[in-house]
Structure 1
Amino acid sequence: MVSRFNVKSGASDLWEYIREPRPYRWTFLFMSFALTFGLLWSFMQESVFVPPDKPRVVFISTFAEGRSDEEIRRTNLENQKRKEAREAELAKLREKKVDAYKALGRATGVDVDSMAAQAKVDNAREAAAAEARQKELYQASRTVGDKPE
């Protein structure tokens, strides 16, 4: 089965067939290339640009239509309470995580108190640098806005 599909023998057979002296062989070869190239070229020249579909906007509202200002305030307060409860729960979880790492550090003989103090200093330094950068950017934006035109 493999010997029937030998690429080398197939290519040599094609080359021998092309080399045989036949009338109009170069004409037919040129015409086949020209026809193939002409068809491909004609398809490549056609370009059709379809305009994009208009966007379909669907508004979804989870609020009742025609709510009063008092209802809006009440839902805002409820949402704020839920947010604060979530943040408090996350803070408790973070504290538990820190305590667990401190317990692990103490169990392995690491001085976690000095590491915590150093981390506190580093965090304060980073916060001060960020605040100074914010002030600098604010002052730069103020001076740019104050320039006369």
Structure 2
Amino acid sequence: MLKNWDVGGGLSDFWAYIREPRPHRWTVWGLAIVLPLLIFYGFSKYLVPYERPKPQIIYFENWKADRSEAEIRADWVARAKETTRANAKRRAEFQRLADMMGVEYDASEAEKVTRETLGKEADAIEKKPEPPKRSTLAERAARGATAPAAQP
């Protein structure tokens, strides 16, 4: 049934039907075109609302045109120190995580660069607090049971 389609015959019959002069032919054609367009417009406008991105204001630094080389270099050094400080803090956090997990984490080269850049300030950043030592169950058992304090 679906193997032999006669598309040409169907199109010729449709064209013959359209060409016949019928009353209200143009009204029906107008409705047939306008109604689906209105429906598609309604779906596109109200079913899936599109939120336009809000305008953003992006600020950037302006520098004086008559800055000296020394001011430019001082600004570069300040930004480099700030970046190095942030990297040192992040590296210290990773070092603590590696110590907790028992993973070897070698940051000696990075620490060397940090010390060259920040100087004595690097010691304060990279000092890692000693984790509190917790005794194991075997150590507590070896010490013996301690008597609970008397309650009033």
Q: Do they fold alike, i.e. is TM over 0.5?
A: no
- Higher RCO structure (Cα 8 Å, ≥6 apart): 2
Normalising by structure 2, we get a TM-score of: 0.31
Question: Normalising by the residue count of structure 1, what TM-score does the alignment of the two structures yield?
Answer: 0.31
Task: Say which structure is richer in helix.
Answer: 1
